[in-house]
Amino acid sequence: MTAGRSVPTFTASMLGSWMLFATVPFWIERVGLYQYLAVEILIFATYALAFNLVLGHAGLPSFGHGAFFGLGAYAFGLAQFNLIPNLWLCLAVATLAAAAGGAIVALFISHRRGIYYALMTIAFSQVFWFIAIKAHGITGGEDGLLKIARLPASFGVATFDLKDNVALFYFVLVVFMGVSLLLWRLVHSPFGRIVKAIKQNETRARFVGYDVWRYKAAILVISGGLSGLAGAMFAMAQTSAFPDVMSLHYSGYVVMMTLVGGGLVSFWGPVLGAVAFFLARDVIGALTIGWMLWFGLLFVVLVLFKPEGLAGMLSTLGTRERKAAPSPNPQPQAR
C-alpha cells in the first residue's frame, strides 16, 4: 500500500470478474457444461471468499468452516418451515445463526493460534456435525431437511421467481458481488488492517494497544455469518440441507479451493480456486470417479512448488509479460 493513498472501492479485477460471471449463462452450455454448475461455483466462491477472511487475511487456520456453512443451510430451511417463507428474512436468519455459531466457537478459541486454533475448529465442527445428525426431529438427521423452496425475491414493486437455475444464478451473482465488495472494503478498512497486523505479529499488536482476542473473535463471527449466507444459498440451490456439508471433508474442500486459488496472496484467489475445484470435479470427474485423487495431487504439487496458488501463477505471468513488453518511452539504461 502506498503511504497515505486510498484504496479504490471498485477495481478493474473486481469489475472484470463480475462482468465475466454475468456472461456465464450465455455460453456455459455451449462449452458442454450446465447452468447449475455456475450456481454452485458462485455459491462456493462466496463461501471461499468468506473463509479466506479467516485463513488468508487473519492467518487463523480454521479447518471446520463447514459448520457455519451448514448452520446457514439448516437455518434457512428451518426459518422457511417454522417462521415465514420470505427470502430476505430466511437469508437474514441463516446469516445470523451462522454468525452466532461463529461467536460461540470464537468465545472458546480466540485466545489460541496456529495448530491449537486449527484443532479447536475441527473439534467444534464435529460437534455441530454430530448435532445435525442426531437431532433428527429438527434437522431430519442423515436424511436432511428436504423440500426447501427456492423462495421468490420480492422487491416490493417486482418479484423475481428463482426456480429457474439462470434466475438463481443471477440472484447468487448479486449476493456474490455484495459480499465481495463488502469484504474488499473490510480488508482495506482500519479494522481489516489491524487484523492483518495481528496476523503478522500478535504480540506486537497487543503491545501497541490492540485487544487481539476481540479482533480474532470478530473476524470469525463475520466470516461465519457470510459462510452461513453461502450455505443458505446452497440450501436454496439444492432445495435441501444435509449434514454432509458440515463434515470434515466438506470443510477441507473450502481449504483446498482457497489454497489452490492462492487465497494467501490474492483477494480473488479463493474465487479462482472455487472455479478450478468445480471444473476439476466435472471435467476430470467425467473421465474418472477418482477425480479427487487428481485434484488432491494438484493441491500437493501447488503447495510444494507454488504455494501462492493459481493467483500467484497468474501474477507471475503478468509480471513476465510486462517485463518482456517494450517500454513505450525507453529510458537510458544505467551502465
The verdict on 60 binding other proteins (CB under 8 A) reads no
The verdict on 319 binding other proteins (CB under 8 A) reads no
Query: What's the CA gap between 244 and 129, in Å, rounded?
Result: 8
CB-nearer residue toward other proteins: 5 or 30 = 5
The verdict on 26 binding other proteins (CB under 8 A) reads no
Among 194, 248, 279, 314, binds other proteins (CB under 8 A): 194
Provide, rounded to whole angstroms, the least separation between the CB of residue 194 and other proteins: 5
Which range touches other proteins (CB under 8 A), out of 79-87, 171-179, 197-205, 305-313? 197-205
Residue with C-alpha cell 456453512?
Answer: 69
Q: Specify whether the backbone of 5 is left (phi greater than 0), alpha (psi in -120 to 50) or beta.
A: beta
Q: Name the residue among 44, 189, 70 with its Cα closest to residue 140.
A: 70
216-235 positions binding other proteins, by CB under 8 A:
222
The verdict on 201 binding other proteins (CB under 8 A) reads yes
- On the 0-12 / 13-18 / 19+ scale of CB atoms within 10 A, 62 is buried
Contact 171, 42 (CB under 8 A): no
Provide, rounded to whole angstroms, the least separation between the CB of residue 167 and other proteins: 30
Contact 327, 317 (CB under 8 A): no
The verdict on 111 binding other proteins (CB under 8 A) reads no
The verdict on 11 binding other proteins (CB under 8 A) reads no
Q: Name the residue among 26, 47, 25 with its Cα closest to residue 37.
A: 25
167-186 positions binding other proteins, by CB under 8 A:
182, 185-186
The verdict on 197 binding other proteins (CB under 8 A) reads yes
Contact 220, 37 (CB under 8 A): no
Contact 76, 90 (CB under 8 A): yes
The verdict on 191 binding other proteins (CB under 8 A) reads yes
The verdict on 211 binding other proteins (CB under 8 A) reads yes
The values of phi and psi at residue 62, to 5°, are -100, 120
CB-nearer residue toward other proteins: 162 or 222 = 222
- Residues that bind other proteins in the complex, under the rule CB under 8 A: 1-7, 182, 185-186, 188-194, 196-197, 200-201, 203-204, 206-212, 215, 222
